[in-house]
């Protein structure tokens, strides 16, 4: 088996061509049984995981690790980590007991496997990279995902294939001097994945200041960074001053795993304006619009200019000026649609640009707001609680609305009662990795029809989704992996309460949320719900409360296997004081077919025929339509 040269694709403003050549054969492998063994690992391209851009090659480095997944036939037997020996292509480690063949994954210390040997989703920060200096590549080492998924014996070569790509940015004509970039902090590469939907990859930069030309390398997932035909590509440089370059791409661009691309950019870099724009609609002459801040009093962090959008004089707020809850107000002569733009003179990337703007004054939402056009600048915000609450005319928001406020942790009730908001942008919370609370975030948003599949993909610290989509009457389905990456969640109380149009719940919806305590009211009054999947709650071994969870789901055909079988796992609820009151009240009362009730009374603590001693079960199965109704003890039926 031969290793192969790392493929290069030169992309001049994203137009590609490629070459490939063989390298010499690798040495023979060795095998040991029941002891430390040595295997031979080559790379296609030749590997790690130091990257040599001059020779377009990777090379193993001391300390590199592989994870070997062992199989006996198709049966997964476990995994072990093998470590680079420091010589040639050799790695040493301990075989997996009972395994005859293996698959290999790099980096072994970061890749994890599930109980079936499948690769778990990469950690949210897997692609986070920091380049130190101009043109350096050492940061790529642990950001390359390689694997050999052909079943090999330990006496065979493992040939790893790169599953991600590298893009080389050659950026020139950068602005230097007093008004230039200064000290560079980040490169943000943004592509329009589908028209109207963007995705971004970020490279942190250190040790680069006041340069006219810059070379930077970024490892990325090719499945994420695709460009639609007619889509826009943007490169943003965040420094003491920030600049941006963009181009519309006529033909669709996709990236093939295992390649290095080059983006040569020498065009015009435009200084990034610090503006915040939104639209309002007045319905009669003499209506007044007020600009509110979250605080009751503060001092302006910058000089602000407010353009009211009607050609009248702009309002000027000086830096350091004391501000009340209402920063400024304006009365409009005619009923019309107006765009309001607030501009800040503070461009430094480390400094706050303006006070934290809100559209909720503490008692009611802005009655005139119709759309938000640009993202909030960095306002130093840590809490977006109720920011748009009760904005009854709000129709649209931008995908990167919160992009520059990465310290924000609370999004409680942020869009609650925005009952004309038509859609949630897929990447709305992409940059807000510190969020811990989404309680009631979209409560009562009655015109929403869907939830983006990856809406919470990057919010791995989130602990609460209580009431999040409650009374969103027109949402028709729940994405399968909506909560897959939210392992810290403790509550889904009333999360989907009142979603009257959903008909099914996806399998594994809560599989990865093993810390959840509260499922109470979660699907209450989902009147069109007809089925629930097997094992829906089998992985939630800390949950205490299921009260009212399916109350009023009148078309639901109950599934007895949403919890484990009590005859096989009677102690599933052992040690927990459970709340099952009203859990299935009237469930299935109008179902096409009767379901079967889960045999909760047979679990340890369920009380059997005599009733539980410390569980709350009032009317749990009252009014249910199930085949085993006569088997349910009366005290579980409210009799």
pLDDT of 359 over the 80 cut:
yes
Beta strand ranges found along 178-220 (DSSP E): 186-194, 197-206, 214-220
Q: For residues 234 and 243, what is the distance between their CA atoms, to the nearest angstrom?
A: 11
- CB neighbourhood size of 55 (10 A): 11
Both tokens of residue 608?
């059997």
DSSP state for residue 377 in the 8-state scheme: P
**Residue 337: Cβ within 10 Å count:** 12
pTM above 0.85, yes or no: no
d(CA 264, CA 197): 24
Strand partners, 159: 42
Confidence at residue 376, expressed as pLDDT on a 0 to 100 scale = 97
Map residue 125 onto helix, strand or coil: coil
Q: What count of other Cβ atoms lies within 10 Å of the Cβ of residue 401?
A: 23
Distances (CA, A) of 528 to 522, 524, 569, 619: 15, 11, 31, 22
Q: How far apart are CA 154 and CA 103, in angstroms?
A: 10
> pLDDT grade, residue 195 (50/70/90)?
confident
Residue 597 burial (CB count, 10 A): 25
DSSP β-bridge partners for residue 277: 341
Q: Can you give the pLDDT at residue 3? A: 27
- Work out the pLDDT band at 205, boundaries 50, 70, 90: very high
Identify the CA nearest to 443 among candidates 496, 483, 522: 496
- Residue 398 scores a pLDDT above 80: yes
Residue 317, pLDDT > 50, answer yes
Rg of the Cα trace of the chain? 29
User: What is the Cα–Cα distance from 85 to 78, expressed in whole angstroms?
Assistant: 22
Q: What is the pLDDT of residue 52?
A: 62
199-206: list long-range contacts, CB under 8 Å, 24+ apart: 199/224, 199/225, 199/427, 200/427, 200/430, 201/127, 201/225, 202/128, 203/129, 203/130, 203/131, 204/128, 204/129, 204/130, 204/131, 205/130, 205/131, 206/130, 206/131, 206/132, 206/133
Cα–Cα dist 489/494, whole Å: 14
Give the pLDDT of residue 162.
85
- pLDDT of amino acid 223: 86
Is residue 429 scored above 70 in pLDDT? yes
Q: pLDDT exceeding 70 applies to what percent of the chain?
A: 91
Among the residue ranges 17-26, 217-226, 380-389, 599-608, the one predicted with the least confidence is: 17-26
Question: Which range has highest mean pLDDT (20-29, 251-260, 492-501)?
Answer: 492-501
What are the E-state strand segments in 336-393? 337-344, 357-358, 369-372
Q: Return the exposure string of 176-191: e unless at least 16 CB atoms fall within 10 Å of the residue's CB, then b.
A: eeeebbbebbebbbbb
Quick check: 581 and 573 in contact, CB under 8 A?
no
CA dihedral 557, 560, 562, 568 (to 10 degrees): -170
Alpha-carbon gap, residue 61 to 410, rounded angstroms: 42
What's the pLDDT score for residue 85? 84
pLDDT of amino acid 26 = 26
How large is the average pLDDT for residues 172-177? 89
What's the average model confidence in pLDDT over 220-244? 89
Question: Model confidence at 32, in pLDDT bands (50, 70, 90)?
Answer: very low
Cβ contact 222:205 at 8 Å: no
Per-residue pLDDT tens for 499-542?
Answer: 999 999 999 999 999 999 999 999 999 999 999 999 999 999 99
Comparing 87 with 471, the larger pLDDT belongs to: 471
Residue 31 — very low, low, confident or very high, per pLDDT cuts 50/70/90?
Answer: very low
Cα distance between residue 530 and residue 553, in whole Å: 8
CA dist., res. 271 & res. 275, Å (int): 12
Average pLDDT over residues 119-126: 83
Residue 369 has pLDDT above 50, yes or no: yes
CA distances from 489 to 382, 413, 511, 515 (A): 20, 17, 12, 6
Task: Annotate 363-374 with DSSP letters as a single string.
Answer: S-B-SSEEEE-S
For 30-44, 137-151, 276-290, 385-399, which range has the lowest pLDDT when averaged over its residues?
A: 30-44
């Amino acid at each position: 088996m031969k290793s192969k040269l790392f493929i290069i694709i030169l992309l001049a403003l994203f137009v590609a061509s490629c070459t490939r050549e063989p390298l010499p054969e690798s040495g023979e492998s060795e095998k040991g049984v029941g002891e430390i063994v040595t295997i031979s690992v080559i790379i296609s391209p030749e590997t790690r995981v130091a990257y040599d851009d001059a020779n377009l090659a990777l090379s193993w480095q001391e300390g590199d690790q592989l994870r070997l997944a062992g199989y006996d036939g198709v049966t997964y037997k476990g995994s072990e980590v093998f470590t680079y020996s420091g010589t040639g292509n050799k790695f040493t480690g301990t075989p997996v007991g009972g395994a005859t063949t293996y698959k290999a994954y790099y980096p072994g210390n970061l890749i994890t496997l599930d109980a079936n040997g499948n690769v778990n989703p990469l950690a949210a920060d897997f692609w986070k990279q920091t380049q130190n200096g101009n043109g350096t590549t050492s940061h790529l080492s642990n950001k390359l995902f390689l694997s050999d998924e052909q079943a090999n014996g330990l006496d065979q070569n493992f040939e790893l294939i790169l599953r991600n790509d590298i893009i080389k940015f050659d950026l020139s004509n950068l602005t230097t001097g007093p008004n230039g970039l200064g000290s560079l902090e980040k490169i943000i590469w943004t592509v329009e994945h589908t028209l109207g939907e963007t995705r971004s990859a970020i490279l942190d930069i250190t040790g680069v200041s006041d340069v006219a030309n810059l070379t930077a390398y970024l490892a990325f997932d090719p499945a994420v960074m695709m460009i639609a035909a007619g889509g826009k590509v943007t490169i943003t440089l965040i420094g003491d001053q920030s600049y941006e370059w963009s181009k519309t791409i006529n033909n669709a661009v996709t990236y093939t795993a295992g390649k290095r691309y080059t983006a040569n950019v020498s065009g015009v870099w435009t200084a990034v304006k610090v503006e915040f724009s939104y639209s309002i609609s007045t319905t009669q002459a003499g209506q007044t619009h007020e600009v509110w801040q979250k605080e009751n009093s503060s001092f302006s962090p910058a000089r602000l200019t407010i353009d009211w959008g009607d050609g009248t004089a702009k309002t000027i707020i000086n830096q350091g000026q004391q501000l009340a809850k209402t920063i400024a107000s304006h009365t409009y002569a005619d009923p019309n649609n107006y765009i309001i733009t607030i501009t800040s003179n503070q461009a430094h990337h480390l400094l706050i640009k303006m006070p934290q703007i809100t559209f909720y004054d503490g008692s009611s939402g802005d009655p005139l707001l119709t759309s938000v056009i640009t993202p909030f600048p960095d306002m130093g915000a840590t809490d977006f609680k109720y920011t748009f609450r009760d904005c009854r005319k709000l129709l649209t928001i931008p995908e990167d609305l919160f992009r520059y406020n990465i310290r924000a942790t609370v999004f409680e009730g942020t869009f609650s009662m925005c009952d004309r908001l038509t859609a949630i942008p897929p990447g709305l919370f992409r940059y807000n990795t510190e969020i811990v609370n989404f309680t009631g975030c979209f409560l009562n948003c009655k015109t929403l029809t869907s939830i983006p599949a990856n809406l919470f993909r990057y919010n791995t610290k989130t602990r609460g989704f209580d009431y999040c989509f409650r009374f969103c009457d027109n949402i028709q389905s729940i994405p399968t992996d909506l909560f897959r990456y939210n392992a810290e969640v403790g509550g889904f109380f009333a999360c989907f309460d009142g979603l009257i149009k959903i008909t099914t719940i996806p399998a594994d919806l809560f599989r990865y949320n093993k810390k959840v305590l509260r499922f109470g009211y979660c699907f209450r009054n989902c009147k069109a719900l007809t089925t629930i999947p097997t094992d829906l709650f089998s992985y939630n071994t800390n949950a205490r409360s299921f009260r009212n969870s399916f109350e009023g789901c009148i078309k639901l055909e109950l599934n007895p296997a949403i919890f484990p079988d009590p005859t096989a796992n009677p102690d599933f609820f052992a040690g927990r004081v459970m709340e099952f009151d009203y859990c299935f009240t009237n469930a299935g009362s109008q179902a096409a077919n009767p379901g079967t009730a889960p045999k909760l009374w047979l679990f340890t603590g369920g009380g059997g025929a005599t009733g539980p001693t410390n569980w709350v079960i009032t009317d749990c199965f009252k009014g249910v339509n199930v085949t085993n109704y006569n088997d349910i003890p009366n005290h579980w039926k409210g009799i």
